[in-house]
Structure 1
Amino acid sequence: MIMESTPQSLTSSGTGKSAKMGSRIGLTQELIVFLLAIALFTYFSLTLDNFLSSANILNLIRNVAMLGMLSLGMAVVVIGRGVDLSLVAVMAVSLTFSIVLANQGYAFSAALVLGLALVIVVAIIMGFLIAYVEIPAIFATLAVSAIVYGLGRGVIATLDVNNVPDNLDWFLFLGRGSFLGIPIPIWLFAISALALYLFLRRTGFGRFIYAIGDNISTARITGIPVRPTIILQYVLSGVMAFLAGCVTAASVASMNMRMVNSTLIYDVLLVVILGGIGLSGGRGGVRNVLVGTVLIGLLLNGMTILDFSYTVQNLVKSTVLLCALIVDALLNPRDEQTSQQGDI
C-alpha cells in the first residue's frame, strides 16, 4: 500500500526539523556569546592597563550584578511574549521612595517594605492593563514608566539624587561587602538567578509562562490561567528591579533618578536578546541571561575605560542591539499564531 503524504504531515515534519535546527542554532548562539565574552575579557586584560585593577573589577562586578538582575526580570516577561520598559523607572523611583521615607523618620527596613509594596502595586496595575484591558505590552509599560518617573520626580522627591541615611552599615553591606572573598552583589545575583531558574523549570506557573509565550491561544484552551499568569510575570519583573535597586543604592549610598533617562533599559534588552531569549516568546532561560550579562558588562566596562564618549557608546550598543534583533528574527521567524496575535 502506498501511503500518501498529507500537507499536515509534511507541515508537522517540517516544523519538527525546524524546531530541532532552531534548538541547535540557539545553543550555538549561546556558545558564541560565551566565547566572545572570554575573548573580550582576554583582549581587555592584555591591552587596558586598569582593567584588572581591583577597583575596576569591583566596579565591573557591581554593574554586572545590577544589570543581570534587571535582565532576569526582563527575561521572565520576554519568555511570556511580553516586554517591560518600566524596569529602570520602577527601580529608581521605588528606592527613592524608600530613602525619602527613611530620611523623614521611618525605620529603613519599614521604608524598604513600603518601597517593595509600591513596586508590586505598579506591577499589578500594569499587568492588569496588559492582560485584561489588552493594551500591547510595549505601550502599557512605556506609559507606566513615564507615569512612575513623573510621580517620583514631581511628588515623591524634589531632588534627582537622594542619599541613604547614615548608620545603615547593614544595608551598605549589600553593595560593598563580601562573603568568602566574593562581593555580596554577585551572591545576590547568583541567588536570584537560581531562584528564578527553579521557578521557571520546577513550578507550574513557570511552565505556564513558557506555554503562554509559545502559544497563548493553546494555553487558554488547555485551561492555563493566562491573565493571572501575565500579571505574575510583571510582579516578578518588578521585584527583580527592586532588588537591583537595592544593590545600586547600597553600592553608592544613594539613588539617582536620572538613570531613568539613560540607555540602561536598552542595555537590559541587549542582554536578553543577545543571550538568546527570542522575542517571539516561549524560549530561553536563566543561562541565556548569564552569558548575555557577562558579555555586555565587559563591553560597557571596556568602553568606559577607553573613555569612549557617551554618543559613541550609544552608537556601539545600538549597532549591537540591531544585529541581535536581526539574528533573533532569523532564528525565531514569525509564525501564523504570532502574526494573528501581533508582536509584543
Structure 2
Amino acid sequence: MSSLTTDPRPTADSRGPGKGPGPAAVGGVLARVGGQNLGLIGALILVVVLFGALNENFLSLTNMRVIAEAATITGLLAVVQTVVVICGGLDISVGSQVGVASVVSAMVFTSTGSNAVVGMAAALGVGVLVGVLNGLVIVHGRVNPTIATLAGLAAYKGLAQLLSDGRAQGYVLDDDWFVFLGRGSIAGLPVMVWILAVVAVVVHVLLTYTDIGRNIYAIGGNDTAARLAGIRINRYLIAVYALIGIVAAVAGILLTARTGSGQPTSGSEGLELKAITAAALGGCALRGGKGGIGGTLLAVALLGCLENGLTVQGINSFWQNVAQGVLLVVAVVVQQRRNAERAVGLPD
C-alpha cells in the first residue's frame, strides 16, 4: 500500500546514537566545499605549518596583520578578475589601473588643499572611465579581451607615469581619512581587510543569488545561447569592465593610504599576474562559465602566505615571481585534466 511506503535512505535515527554523520552527509559537505577548495585549504595549511616551523615570527599577530594588509589589494583585484573570467573575458590592465588611481587620488588631494574626499572621488571617477573604455574597445572595437587589456596595461602605466613624472606624488598621511584606511582597525581587523570582505560578500551575493549573476555565468558558459535567450551581452561586458575599474580605483586609494603617497608603478606592478593566478587557482575556468569568490579568496590567502613566508626566510624576492608562474601553470593543467580536454598538438 502506498501509505506504508517508506524512504529507503538511512536517517539520523536509523544510524543509532553516537554514529555521527553518515557518508551521504559527509559527501554533501564535501560537495558544498568543493574539491578545488579542499585542495587549497590543504595547501594553505601546509604552507602555514611549514613557514611557522621555520620561523616563529611567521605566526605572530603582527605578521598575520602584515599578510592580511598586503593581500587586500591583490584580493580586491582577484575578486573582480573572477567576475570577468566567469563572463568569458580577462583584464590584464588591472595593475596599471591601480597605479593611475593611486596617482590621481594623491595629486587631486594635494591640489585641492588636502581634501581627501575629492581625491578619492576623482580616483573612482577615473576608474569608471578606464573600465568603460576597456569594455567599449572590446565590445564595439571587437578586440579580443586579452589584446585590448594588454594594450591597456601599457597605456595606463604610461598615463600614470606621465601624470606623476614617474615619481611618487603627494603625502597623505597627515589626513585622518587616509590614515584610517591605511592604518586603522575595526574590531581588531585592519580597515583594508573589512573593505575586501564587504566587496567579496557583495560580489558573491551578486553572482550566486541574482539574475545578473546567473546571466554572467550563462554568457561565459555559452555566449551564443545567452544571446538567443535575450541576454544583452554587450551591456553586461561593459558593466563588468566598469566594475573592475571601480574596484581597481578602490585598490589604488588603499595603495596610496598604505604607502603614504601616489604610486605610479611601485606597489601596483605585477598585480595583474597575482589576480589572474588567484582566480585560476580558485577554480575559475579561463574559458569562462565557472568559478566562485570563495575559492579565489582561499587562493589569495595562499599566495599571501607564500609570498610573506619567502620574504621572512630571506629568500630572493625574484623566486616569488617564479612561484606565481608555476602555480598559474599548475592551476591551468589541473583544469585541463579535470575537463578532459585534449592536449594541444597531441592526438586524442
TM-score, length-normalised on structure 2? Answer: 0.84
Q: Residue in 2 aligned with 1:270?
A: 277
Matched, 1:197 2:204: yes
Change (3 A) 1:267 1:179: same
**Number of equivalences:** 312
Mapped partners of 2:124, 2:222: distance in 1? 32
Q: Residue in 2 aligned with 1:62?
A: 69
User: Which is worse superposed, 293-302 or 303-312?
Assistant: 303-312
Matched, 1:232 2:239: yes
After superposition, what is the alpha-carbon deviation per residue over 1:27-54, rounded to whole angstroms, capped at 9, x for unaligned?
A: 2122111111012112222221321234
Mapped partners of 1:86, 1:300: distance in 2? 22
User: Which is worse superposed, 267-276 or 197-206?
Assistant: 197-206
Match of 1:174 among 177, 181, 184: 181
Give runs of ≥4 in structure 1 deviating > 4 Å: 23-26
Matched, 1:221 2:228: yes
User: Which is worse superposed, 195-204 or 101-110?
Assistant: 101-110
Match of 2:123 among 115, 124, 137: 115
Unaligned runs of 5+ in 1: 1-22, 336-344
- What SS does the aligned partner of 1:143 have? helix
Higher radius of gyration, 1 or 2: 2
Q: Residue in 2 aligned with 1:293?
A: 300
Aligned-pair identity (%): 29
Q: Which residue identity lines up with residue 137 of structure 2 in the other structure?
A: L
Q: Residue in 1 aligned with 2:20?
A: none
Q: Residue in 2 aligned with 1:17?
A: none
Matched, 1:144 2:144: no
Change (3 A) 1:134 1:26: farther
Kept in 2, the 8 Å contact 1:95–1:112? The answer is no
Q: Residue in 2 aligned with 1:280?
A: 287
Mapped partners of 1:332, 1:163: distance in 2? 50
Mapped partners of 2:278, 2:67: distance in 1? 15
Q: Residue in 2 aligned with 1:8?
A: none
Q: Residue in 1 aligned with 2:335?
A: 328
Q: Residue in 1 aligned with 2:346?
A: none
Q: Which residue identity lines up with residue 125 of structure 2 in the other structure?
A: A
**Greater fraction of residues in helix:** 1
After superposition, what is the alpha-carbon deviation per residue over 1:63-93, rounded to whole angstroms, capped at 9, x for unaligned?
A: 1211111101111100101100111111111
Change (3 A) 1:63 1:242: same
Q: Give me the CA root mean square deviation.
A: 2.1
1:6-25 correspondence to structure 2 within 5 Å: none
TM-score, length-normalised on structure 1? Answer: 0.85
1:87-98 correspondence to structure 2 within 5 Å: 87-98=94-105
Mapped partners of 1:195, 1:39: distance in 2? 30
Change (3 A) 1:84 1:259: farther
After superposition, what is the alpha-carbon deviation per residue over 1:230-283, rounded to whole angstroms, capped at 9, x for unaligned?
A: 011111111121222222221221232224773322111111111111112111
Mapped partners of 1:67, 1:120: distance in 2? 19
Kept in 2, the 8 Å contact 1:280–1:332? The answer is no
User: Which is worse superposed, 253-262 or 108-117?
Assistant: 253-262
After superposition, what is the alpha-carbon deviation per residue over 1:87-141, rounded to whole angstroms, capped at 9, x for unaligned?
A: 1111111121121112122522112112111111111111011122210000000
Q: Which residue identity lines up with residue 248 of structure 1 in the other structure?
A: L
Q: Residue in 2 aligned with 1:10?
A: none
1:74-89 correspondence to structure 2 within 5 Å: 74-89=81-96
Q: Residue in 2 aligned with 1:305?
A: 312
